[in-house]
């Protein structure tokens, strides 16, 4: 009996639920047909269009905010698509009343679009008698004027944020209706210089640059000239090729230099960013028009990651990511070519090497296209076919010993004197056609290096000439031994 009673109770509950559903979904709309429409209208009314214009109809936007005026206009320009030589017509926005800032077209466009589509969550007051309580009707309140292609003009005044920071108080065309406008759109319309500035600073390819110099702590670190074919010659601190490893760090870092943010435009106090006495500066003279680009770096914003910076000739302070600028704190010797003097074997015709009382005379007839055709004559003997146990050319290893003398340090201010203990005289097929490299003792450990009788500003270690299997003395001994063995074998065969 109890089982049947429980079942009846469940059936009664189900009947009541079904009846209620039918009443509200079928019967009630028939009794009150406006009910569903009212509900939908109420939901839609939660978003009120203030300007309600299509964004492609706006032609000009004038914004007055924080005592600054910005007049942005839309124009059609021809532009090449990335990776293409074909031009296409595109829409760009630009400031026409300012030359103190390079504005980002896309950010101006964002301001114009938000002006057209800005909405309000509600009408705060329809006939406000005290606009001042909303931050409206004041000389310093933000104003934006949009001009459209049909000649229409709309003015928005943006006042204070409401107490709960849900939005900004806005009125349209000088009226007394106060809207609570979208926070996002309001802030995009209220332009600030630091927010619309173009973050792309410059992009330089190695071939674009004629000369460059770098300062560290205000002192000149190095200065170099582009001599073509990706070769650079240092003019300071020494006259020498720029180290190719340094080139591989510097030029990729310049390929696309952008700010992560602008901090202050037209800064009066550069000292708070460390830009009054900058830590580093890099100046690049351009080939095409003789112009210059200078990047000046101040204090860290985030250690080893970003620094405050500005471009030469400006006081606009931005933050730049320095993770690609791995060369900033390298010692000066790492900007100097690693070798006392290096030259391709294909560019040498004759060498005279003097050391330890030996005078070695070498003639080279190198074929750039085929090493098999090379001829090497040493002290009147053809050594072209002398190889070591790994079937490598002994003479080429000996040549590497001559040109592979790496520098120890840069000492441009030294005043060396004395007689050379080791000299290499090269006769060349290319300029300067003659190069005399001399190694003059500095002390028991180091040599000063001279090139064509001029001090090169560098030192090398004496022990470098004694390295087994690759130093000058060991390779000369191996050459003499191989020459003697070849001569003995020839005599025996003859």
| Average pLDDT taken over every residue of the chain | 90
Structure tokens at 405: 């003398």
pLDDT for 40 equals: 33
Rounded CA separation 122/246 (Å)? 61
* H helix intervals, 374-464: 394-403
Q: Taking residues 66-80, what's their average pLDDT?
A: 92
Pairing of strands 422-428, 178-182: unpaired
pLDDT for 110 equals: 97
Percent with pLDDT over 90 in the chain: 81
Residue 44 pLDDT > 50, yes or no? Answer: no
pLDDT for 79 equals: 84
CB 456 within 8 A of CB 462: no
Domains of the chain: 48-196 (2.60.40), 200-335 (2.60.40), 345-493 (no CATH)
Residue 36 pLDDT > 90, yes or no? Answer: no
Residue 235 pLDDT > 90, yes or no? Answer: yes
Q: Taking residues 326-355, what's their average pLDDT?
A: 95
Structure tokens at 12: 């009664």
Residue 25 pLDDT > 50, yes or no? Answer: no
pTM score of the predicted model: 0.75
Residue 10 pLDDT > 90, yes or no? Answer: no
Structure tokens at 174: 């000088």
Spell out where 306-407 has E strands: 306-311, 317-321, 348-355, 358-365, 375-378, 381-382
Between 33 and 276, the higher pLDDT residue? 276
Residues listed for the chain: 494
Q: Taking residues 331-338, what's their average pLDDT?
A: 94
Rounded CA separation 480/381 (Å)? 11
Percent with pLDDT over 70 in the chain: 90
pLDDT for 494 equals: 66
pLDDT band at 14 (very low <50, low <70, confident <90, very high): low
Rounded CA separation 160/174 (Å)? 16
Q: Taking residues 402-431, what's their average pLDDT?
A: 95
Dump pLDDT digits (tens) for 96-127. 999 888 999 999 999 999 999 999 999 999 99
Contacts of 418 (CB under 8 A, 6+ apart): 440, 441
Q: Taking residues 287-292, what's their average pLDDT?
A: 88
pLDDT for 9 equals: 56
pLDDT for 138 equals: 92
Structure tokens at 362: 């070498």
pLDDT band at 22 (very low <50, low <70, confident <90, very high): very low
Residue 130 pLDDT > 70, yes or no? Answer: yes
Residue 451 pLDDT > 80, yes or no? Answer: yes
CB 446 within 8 A of CB 328: no
Residue 462 pLDDT > 80, yes or no? Answer: yes
- Spell out a b/e string for 177-186, using b for 16 or more CB atoms within 10 Å of the CB, else e: bbbbbbeebb
Dump pLDDT digits (tens) for 186-207. 999 999 999 999 999 999 999 9
Rounded CA separation 376/363 (Å)? 6
Q: Taking residues 432-444, what's their average pLDDT?
A: 97
Contacts of 58 (CB under 8 A, 6+ apart): 74, 112, 115, 116, 146, 147, 148, 149
Closest C-alpha among 312, 209, 314, 300 to residue 253: 209
Dump pLDDT digits (tens) for 132-166. 999 999 999 999 999 999 999 999 999 999 999 99
Q: Taking residues 459-467, what's their average pLDDT?
A: 96
Residue 250 pLDDT > 70, yes or no? Answer: yes
């Amino acid at each position: 009996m109890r089982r049947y009673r429980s079942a009846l109770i469940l059936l009664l509950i189900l009947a009541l639920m079904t009846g209620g559903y039918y009443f509200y979904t079928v019967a009630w709309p028939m009794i009150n047909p406006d009910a569903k429409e009212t509900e939908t209208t109420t939901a839609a009314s939660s978003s009120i269009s203030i300007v309600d214009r299509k964004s492609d109809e706006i032609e000009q936007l004038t914004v007055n905010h924080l005592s600054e005026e910005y007049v942005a206009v839309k124009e059609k320009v021809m532009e090449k698509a990335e990776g293409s030589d074909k031009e296409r017509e595109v829409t760009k926005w630009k400031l026409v009343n300012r030359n103190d800032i390079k504005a980002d077209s896309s950010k101006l466009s964002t301001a114009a679009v938000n002006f057209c589509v800005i909405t309000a969550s509600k009408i705060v007051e329809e006939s406000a008698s005290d606009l001042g309580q909303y931050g409206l009707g004041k000389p310093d309140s933000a104003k934006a004027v949009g001009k459209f292609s049909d000649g229409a003009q709309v003015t928005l005044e943006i006042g204070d944020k409401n107490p709960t920071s849900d939005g900004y108080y806005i009125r349209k065309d000088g009226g007394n209706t106060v809207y609570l406008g979208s926070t996002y759109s309001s802030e995009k319309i209220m332009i600030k210089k630091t927010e619309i500035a173009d973050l792309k600073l410059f992009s330089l390819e190695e071939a674009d640059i004629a000369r460059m110099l770098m300062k560290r702590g205000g002192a000149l670190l190095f200065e170099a000239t582009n001599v073509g074919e990706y070769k650079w010659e240092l003019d300071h601190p020494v006259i020498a090729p720029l180290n190719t490893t340094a080139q591989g760090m510097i030029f990729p870092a310049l390929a696309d230099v952008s700010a992560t943010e602008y901090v202050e435009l037209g800064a009066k106090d550069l000292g708070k960013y460390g830009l009054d006495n900058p830590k580093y500066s890099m100046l690049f003279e351009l080939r095409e028009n003789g112009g210059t680009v200078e990047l000046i770096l101040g204090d860290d914003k985030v250690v080893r990651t970003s620094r405050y910076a500005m471009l030469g000739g400006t006081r606009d302070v931005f933050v730049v990511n320095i993770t690609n600028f791995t060369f900033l704190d390298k010692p000066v010797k790492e900007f100097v070519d690693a070798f006392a003097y290096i030259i391709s074997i294909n560019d040498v015709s004759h060498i005279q090497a003097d050391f330890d009382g030996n005078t070695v005379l070498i003639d080279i007839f190198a074929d750039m296209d085929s090493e098999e055709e090379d001829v090497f004559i040493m002290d009147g003997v053809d050594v072209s076919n002398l190889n070591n146990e790994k079937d490598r050319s002994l003479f080429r290893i000996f040549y590497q010993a001559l040109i592979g003398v790496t520098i120890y340090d840069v000492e441009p201010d030294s005043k060396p004197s004395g007689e050379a203990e080791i000299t290499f005289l090269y006769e060349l097929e290319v300029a300067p056609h003659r190069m005399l490299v001399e190694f003059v003792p500095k002390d028991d450990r180091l040599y000063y290096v001279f090139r064509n009788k001029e001090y090169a500003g560098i030192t090398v270690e004496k022990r470098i000439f004694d390295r087994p299997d690759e130093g000058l003395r060991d390779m000369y001994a191996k050459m003499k031994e191989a020459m003697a063995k070849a001569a003995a074998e020839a005599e025996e065969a003859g």
